[in-house]
Amino acid sequence: MNMRTKVPLGLCCVAVVLSAQNNLKTTVTQRYFAGVRRNLEAAADAMPEAKYGFKLTDGQMSFAEWINHSTERNFSDCAVLKAETAPEAAKKVAGLKSKTEVSQALKDSFAYCAAAIEGIDDQKVLASPQMTYSLLHVVVHNNEIYGNIAGYLRSSGIVPPSTASRLNQKGKQ
């Protein structure tokens, strides 16, 4: 076989193995989705209600707006994964202001995403560029949001949840 045949054949074999083992879904779920979900939900709980309107600078979104942005995107991306329109709750997110409403909507959006991810497999996701984008966007975009709000937490004297969990693990060793 020449190189022109070997490379595509090798890529096909890798794709078949990945599909059979559901590696993409498993990796996304265990390594990325679960962690960013835990961190964002804990950050929303840790920030005091009075700081939900806080902005690092005038040109930035408030803490609540960042959380709402995550919630909106979760509903949007995970609706694609479920092959349905976003739930009614997604339409109300932009108007949420209080800590209770904002943090509960975030938790609801992550529960919706968890169900969406549970209902997919690698073959289904890899068959559609939009589904692949949506799955990866759920974790990548939420990690970007978490990176932004970590500064809001630190500026408010709160250790971000990801740092706090690492510090707790070191203390137990």
Average pLDDT of the chain is 87
Residues 37-64 pLDDT 10s? 999 999 999 999 999 999 999 999 999 9
SS3 label, residue 173 = coil
Q: Give the per-residue pLDDT at 29.
A: 85
Question: How far, in whole angstroms, is CA 69 from its chain's centroid?
Answer: 11
DSSP codes, 29-63: IIIIIHHHHHHHHHHHHHS-GGGTT--SSTTSPPH
159 in Cβ contact with 167 (< 8 Å): yes
SS3 label, residue 158 = coil
User: Higher model confidence: residue 120 or residue 17?
Assistant: 120
74 in Cβ contact with 62 (< 8 Å): no
Q: Which pLDDT band holds residue 164 (cuts at 50, 70, 90)?
A: confident
Report whether pLDDT(1) > 60: no
Residues of the chain above pLDDT 90, percent: 74
Residues sharing a CB contact under 8 Å with residue 131, sequence separation 6 or more, in sequence order: 80, 81, 120, 124, 125
Go through the domains of the chain in sequence order and give each one's CATH number: 24-162 (1.20.120.450)
Q: How is residue 131 annotated by DSSP?
A: H
Residues 87-135 pLDDT 10s? 999 999 999 999 999 999 999 999 999 999 999 999 999 999 999 999 9
Mean pLDDT of 134-156: 96
